[in-house]
Amino acid sequence: MQVVELIAAKRDGHAIASGDLHQLIAAYSAKEVPDYQMAAFLMAGYLRGFSHDETVALTDAMVASGDRLDLSGLSGPTVDKHSTGGVGDSTTLVVAPLAAALGMQTVKLSGRGLGFTGGTLDKLEAIPGMRTQLTEKELLAQVERIGLVVCAQTADLVPADKAIYALRDVTATVGNTALIASSIMSKKIAGGAHAILLDVKVGSGAFMKTADSARELANICVALGTSAGRATRALITDMDQPLADTVGNAIDVQEAIEVLKGEHQSRFVDLCLTLVGHLAALSGVAPDARTGRQQAGQALRSGAGLDRFRLLVEAQGGDPHVVDDTSLLPAAPTIIDVHAPQDAWLATVDAEAIGRASGALGAGRQKLDDVIDPAVGLSLHVKIGDQSHAGDTIGRIFARDGQDARNAELAVLQALGWSPLPVSARPLVHEIVDPAQGLDEVSFNNSNETGRIHEN
C-alpha cells in the first residue's frame, strides 16, 4: 500500500477501494503510518467527501481495529441508544432502566461531557461510590443479572477511532458528516447490541444546527447500522431549548430519580417514553413504537423503572439510598433563583449559551482531563411557549460562590428571548429515519459542520 497514492487519489476526488481503506486504518493503528499522512488523508476526505462504500469500509475498518463485545451469551434482546449530544439531555438515566424493566438488555457505553454538552458518566459519578469503569466480564454479568449497564468503553474497543478523532480534533477535520457517522457507529457496532437507536439532536443546543445536516447524519448512521446487520433507527429531535429542567450532574441525577418516581410531566419525560417505545419495537419486545411507549409508561407508573435504576446504582458500587434520599447527592453551597424580567411568553432559548453557563459554573469541561464539580449547575423551569410574569421564579443557579452565581444568572437571562404574544414550540420529534422508509444515497456525498459533535 502506497499511502501517498491514496492521499492523492482522495485529493483528486477518486473513490478509495474498501481493501485499501482497511489497510490504511490497520497500518495507522499499528503506528506504521505517521500522523502527518493520516492528517493529509483526512483533510482530502473532508474536502472531497466519502461515498457510501467508503464510509462503510471506514466504519468496518475501525471496528476491526480492536475488540468487540460478544453479547451472544445474553438471554434477552440487546439494545443500545446514542444521543449526539445536547443541553439538559439525561435521557439515558431514565431510558435504560425503563428498557430493562420491559425485558430489554441495555448495554450503554457512554462518554463524558465536553464543551457545552453533558456526559452520562459524569452524571452517574455524582452518585457517591458509583463506578463507571467495568471489565468486560463484569459488564456481561451485570447485564444478565439486572438487565442494564451504563459504563465507559474499554481502551481496546475501537482504538483506531480514538486515535483518528484526536487527530481530527487538531486538524480541523472533525465536522465531516461521514467521519462523524463512522466514529459514532464504529463504537455502536463494536458494542455488540442487536438494536441501535440514535437520537440525533437539531437546534440551538445541538451540534447539528439545521434540519438538513441532522437528516444527513441520521441517514448515514442508520445505513451504517443496517449494513452491519443491526436493527437501526434514528429520531431527529428538538434541541432548540434544554430538554430537561436541569443542566449539571448531581441535579440531573435528582431530576431523573424524580421522573422515575412519576413526579414529572414534561418534554423530557415525553422523549424518554418515546425512545423506549422505539427501542421496544426495534428489539421485538413490542409490535410497534406506540405500544412500546405505552408499556414504558406502565413501567414508569408502577415503579419498575425506579427499581431498575436502584439496581444499577447498587451493582456499580453507588449508594442506592440516593434513590430514596437525593440529599445524599453533592450539593452546591450557593443557590440563587432566576426571575422573569417581564410579563411575556418565552419565545427563544439559546440552548448552547445555557450549556456554556452551566459549564462555566464548573459542571462541564473544555478538555477531557478537566475536573468537574458534580454539585454545580442550573435549572430552567420555563419552556418555549410558557407565559411568565415579571418576578416569577423561572430557574435556579447552583454555584460555588456568589460571584459565579450572579455571572450564571446574567448568562441565563441573556440567553432567553421574550414575546408579548403567545408562541409555540417546535415539535419534540421532527423526523423518524428508518430503513423501511428508504435512505437517500446522495446523503453520503457529505457536508461539513463547523462544530464539535458528541461522538461518545
User: What are 202's strand-pairing partners?
Assistant: 238
How many Cβ atoms from other residues are within 10 Å of residue 376's Cβ? 29
pLDDT value for 188: 95
Task: Tell the residue number behind the cell numbers 476526505, with chain if given.
Answer: 45
Distance between CA atoms of residues 97 and 105, nearest Å: 10
Distances in Å between the alpha carbon of 12 and those of 24, 44, 45, 47, 259?
18, 8, 10, 10, 53
Q: Which residue of the set 82, 209, 215, 308 is catalytic?
A: 82
At position 387, the amino acid (one-letter code) is: Q
Task: Tell the residue number behind the cell numbers 441501535, with chain if given.
Answer: 196
Distance between CA atoms of residues 65 and 114, nearest Å: 25
| pTM, to two decimals | 0.93
Q: Which residue of the set 29, 90, 183, 388 is catalytic?
A: 183
Spans in the chain with pLDDT lower than 50: 439-445, 450-452
- Residue 303: left if φ>0, alpha if ψ -120 to 50, beta else—which one? left
Distance between CA atoms of residues 8 and 24, nearest Å: 14
Phi, psi of 335 (to 5 degrees): -130, 125
Tell me, yes or no, if 168 is annotated catalytic. Answer: yes
Tell me, yes or no, if 302 is annotated catalytic. Answer: no
pLDDT value for 245: 96
Q: Are 283 and 74 in contact (CB under 8 A)?
A: no
pLDDT value for 450: 45
Distance between CA atoms of residues 386 and 267, nearest Å: 13
Q: Are 85 and 116 in contact (CB under 8 A)?
A: no
Query: What would the pLDDT profile of 219-265 be if each residue is shown by its tens digit?
Result: 999 999 999 999 999 999 999 999 999 999 999 999 999 999 998 88
Q: Which residue of the set 80, 89, 122, 161 is catalytic?
A: 161
pLDDT value for 202: 95
Distance between CA atoms of residues 56 and 186, nearest Å: 10
Longest dimension (CA), the chain: 68
Distance between CA atoms of residues 24 and 3, nearest Å: 7
pLDDT value for 454: 52
Tell me, yes or no, if 187 is annotated catalytic. Answer: yes
Q: Which residue of the set 162, 168, 278, 293 is catalytic?
A: 168
- With a CB cutoff of 8 Å and minimum separation 6, the contacts of 442 are none
- Show the cell assigned to 455: 461522538
Q: Are 62 and 273 in contact (CB under 8 A)?
A: no
- Show the cell assigned to 373: 464539580
Tell me, yes or no, if 454 is annotated catalytic. Answer: no
Distance between CA atoms of residues 223 and 238, nearest Å: 22
Q: Which residue of the set 187, 188, 215, 454 is catalytic?
A: 187
Instruction: Map out the domains of the chain with their CATH numbers.
Output: 3-49 (1.20.970.10), 78-324+431-438 (3.40.1030.10), 331-419 (3.90.1170.30)
Distance between CA atoms of residues 309 and 112, nearest Å: 20
